[in-house]
Amino acid sequence: MSHKVFHLPDLGEGLTEAEVVSWLVGPGDTVVVDQPIAVVETAKAQVELPCPYAGSVVTLHGEAGHVVDVGAPFITVDVDVPADGITRGGASEASDVAVDTYREEERAGSGAVLIGYGTSEGSRRRRRRVGAGGPTAPAAGSSLPSAGPVMGDTAAPAVGDTAGTVVGDTAGTVVGDTAGPVVDGRLPAEVSSKPGAAVRVISPLVRQLAAEHGIDLRTVTPTAPGGIIRRCDVMAVVTARGEGGAPGSLAPQSESRVTSTAGSPTPDRRIPLTGIRGTIASRLATSRREIPDATTWVDVDATDFLAVRRQLADARPEARIGVLALLGRVMVAGLRRYPELNSTVDTAANEVVVRGAINLGFAAQSPRGLVVPVVHGADEMTLAELSTALRELTTKAMDGTLSPAEMTGGTFTLNNYGGYGVDGSTPIINHPEAAMVGVGRMIDKPWVVDGALAVRKVGTIGLTFDHRVCDGGTAGGFIRYVADCIERPTTLLLDL
């Protein structure tokens, strides 16, 4: 026998470790090159990890919930057993060629190493994990409350990827509506999938949804670029079969519960702050600790602004210009006029760094909670291009397929929390940025127009900013300019 050990590759973006969320294969299973073998979560995203070897799985180096360092053994494959199960000479050589190509792509930074990932050529930095213990059962999906709205003109937020709830501290005990038993941290396989067969699915939620409805993913027609199967593709099959299912057929987070005996109090649950949730928690804490923030706000008459949105929809329906895109265009114009708010503070050099490009982040809902996708180079885009970019990133956020590059590098954040029926807020700045604008709901309110009382669409615009990068005059000038553009959208023509 010839065993090959696949070590966790360099995931790029300075990442040095990943947590095993679930295994898609087990010992004895046959795999082919590039077949997804596990779902891993880093501090930036949750993705499927493909295998560079073809053969039979011998060992899984770590259970679900384990954190694996980059370069550590991940899976061992017997390459003498090819995917068709027939032992033959030359299988080892073919697998060696495949993994050599894989490693060359990794070192070259081709972006082909992981689905949804790029690679980096920089040196790896390893850090020791404190208090690493034995295997623990991971919390399946995020049960933390979301902190922001779905952006733009999108469907309702995707429900959580809850596959069950761990009872107390007992690993392996699962409660809730699941697609099947969770064994050794592995999710149920797709119905009728043959050993070694790989389908182009990025989101584990899509696999779970298909399993719950008994759908063979190989029979699903993909609609996304590159032949990737998404949630909507699976739901189209469900609808065609007349099952009456909906994306909400996944067990919602609110239904996750721990069992308790009659008369006994419900035990506490501990939810690990790992992966993306851990990164968000750390960043918010750093922001509150380091940034001396201040907030200013103003009420605006958005009647004409919303009228312009309807006029654009009538004139260019194919562009699908939404409120978020128009707000984003206003933010870009404001940042050009007040560039101090498009900056960051270099504490090591004791300098304020004013960013040249405007990379617009916006709060969006994902299966694992609030994320902030980034539209890079928003200042170089037309309104139609900005609308397309926002719409595509929102869809990826809801599908859980955002790449690390699409969630990093922001210079300013827009948060449209009005989607939750909220009027105002004092948000926490997305560290290391220096400012964030929040937009409340725009509803009918009494408003004085030309000395007479009228009913207008009124909303609240709030700016939270780092007082180190500017004073109140700059912040006030920015928020007033934004308000003027919303109340009189033709003002934007002056800066085109």
Phi, psi of 185 (to 5 degrees): 75, 10
> How many other β-carbons are positioned within 10 Å of the β-carbon of residue 209?
22
Return d(Cα 166, Cα 155) in angstroms, integer: 30
- Do the strands 343-346 and 351-354 form a parallel or antiparallel pair, or are they unpaired? antiparallel
Return d(Cα 75, Cα 63) in angstroms, integer: 11
Structure tokens at 95: 């697998």
**Nearest by Cα to 51 from 6, 82, 105:** 6
Buried b (16+ CB within 10 A) or exposed e, 261-274: eeeeeeeeeeeeeb
Contact 265, 176 (CB under 8 A): no
Positions of E strands within 179-284: none
Within a 13 Å sphere around the CA of 201, how many CA atoms are in the beta-carbon half? 30
Contact 235, 246 (CB under 8 A): yes
Q: What's the burial of 452, exposed, middle or buried (CB within 10 Å: 0-12/13-18/19+)?
A: exposed
- Do the strands 443-449 and 452-466 form a parallel or antiparallel pair, or are they unpaired? antiparallel
Q: Alpha helices, DSSP H only, in 200-258?
A: 204-212, 231-240
Question: Coil, helix or strand for 240?
Answer: helix
Q: Which amino acid does the sequence have at 140?
A: A
Cα angle: 392, vertex 394, 397; to 5 degrees: 110
Q: Which residues contact 394 (CB under 8 A, 6 or more apart)?
A: 150, 151, 152, 154, 364, 373
Give whole-number Cα distances, 131 to 62, 67, 95, 134, 166, in Å.
16, 12, 37, 10, 21
Let me know if 467 is a catalytic residue: yes
Structure tokens at 311: 């006029």
- Do the strands 293-301 and 452-466 form a parallel or antiparallel pair, or are they unpaired? antiparallel
Structure tokens at 438: 């929040």
| Strand (E) or helix (H) holding 290 | helix 275-290
Choose, from 7, 61, 66, 467, the residue flagged as catalytic.
467
Active site amino acids: 467
